Amino acid sequence: MKIYIKSNFFVPGLEHAETVDIDHPRLTLRDFLEELSMRAPTPIEYVRPGAETLDPDDWEVDINDIPYRRCGDGLGTVLKDGDTVTIRIMAFGGG
């Protein structure tokens, strides 16, 4: 299964790749983010263990340009071949 990635940073472990090939019978967004974490030289906690949602301070994630929370099952949303996952790292606003 090929998933396209868009991001505002170079996703560690993917170098400059724009797609990720993952062999998975039923790939959820959570699975996908955990796979990205494992591919990074130092694991990145995209999803906190046991969390039902992403920490909104950390990441903004869309599936096919739709915020993941509005995609049926949130982190449990099943991805399809050719889907695009957008991951944006957040710059904080407080001072």
Query: Would residue 6 be called left, alpha or beta, if left means φ above 0 and alpha means ψ between -120 and 50 degrees?
Result: beta
Site residues (CB under 8 A) for other proteins, limited to 27-46:
44-45
Q: Minimum distance between the CB of residue 12 and other proteins, rounded to whole angstroms?
A: 7
Inter-residue contact 12 to 59 (CB < 8 Å): no
Stretch that binds other proteins, among 17-25, 28-36, 76-84, 85-93 (CB under 8 A): 85-93
Pairing type for strands 84-89 and 59-63 reads antiparallel
Stretch that binds other proteins, among 3-11, 20-28, 30-38, 68-76 (CB under 8 A): 3-11
